[in-house]
């Protein structure tokens, strides 16, 4: 089962793709899933591809045999993952003007995000909030 939890944690951390008010880290959401649902996933979702959507579908399909702790925690964990993905997608939109203004050279090399994370003076409050919500700071 430890191997399964480690694999689950790795997959969720590296997803390219909670009715919680705050955005939590991928690692925290994966740890919550592993702690609350590791045994349930092991028992009921063997053979399911490890992506968030399929794992969630499996837990929903098997909700009659899933533990109460898992049923309480998995919606929050998956919502947190989705919120973080949305926050990261918003960074480009919120920071484009700042990237054009402060990181023109880095943009040519595809490193504008690193430039913005370094926090040049004058970066807008919206961009700073987006970087923080996306987990870059």
Handedness of CA 11, 7, 79, 54 (dihedral sign): positive
The pLDDT tens digits of the residues spanning 62-103 come to 999 999 999 999 898 888 888 888 888 889 899 999 999 999
pLDDT (average), residues 100-113: 87
Give me 86's structure tokens: 């949305």
What does the chain come to in residues?
A: 137
- Is pLDDT above 90 for 55? no
**Model confidence at 22, in pLDDT bands (50, 70, 90)?**
low
This prediction's pTM: 0.62
User: How do the domains of the chain map onto residue ranges?
Assistant: 2-133
Q: In the chain, what percentage of residues exceed pLDDT 70?
A: 82
- Is pLDDT above 90 for 9? no
End-to-end Cα separation, the chain, in angstroms: 33
pLDDT at 96: 93
Using DSSP, state whether 24 is helix, strand or coil. coil
Contact 116, 131 (CB under 8 A): yes
Separation CA 137–CA 117 (nearest Å)? 7
């Amino acid at each position: 089962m430890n191997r399964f939890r480690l694999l689950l944690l790795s997959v969720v951390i590296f997803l390219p793709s909670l009715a919680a008010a705050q955005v939590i880290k991928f690692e925290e959401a994966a740890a919550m899933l592993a702690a609350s649902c590791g045994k349930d996933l092991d028992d009921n979702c063997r053979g399911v591809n490890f992506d968030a959507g399929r794992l969630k579908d499996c837990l929903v399909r098997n909700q009659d045999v899933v533990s109460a702790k898992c049923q309480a925690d998995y919606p929050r964990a998956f919502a947190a993952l989705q919120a973080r993905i949305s926050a990261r997608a918003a960074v480009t939109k919120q920071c484009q003007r700042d990237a054009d203004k402060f990181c023109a050279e880095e943009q040519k090399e595809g490193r504008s995000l690193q430039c913005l994370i370094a926090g040049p003076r004058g970066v807008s409050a919206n961009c700073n909030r987006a970087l923080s919500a996306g987990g870059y700071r």
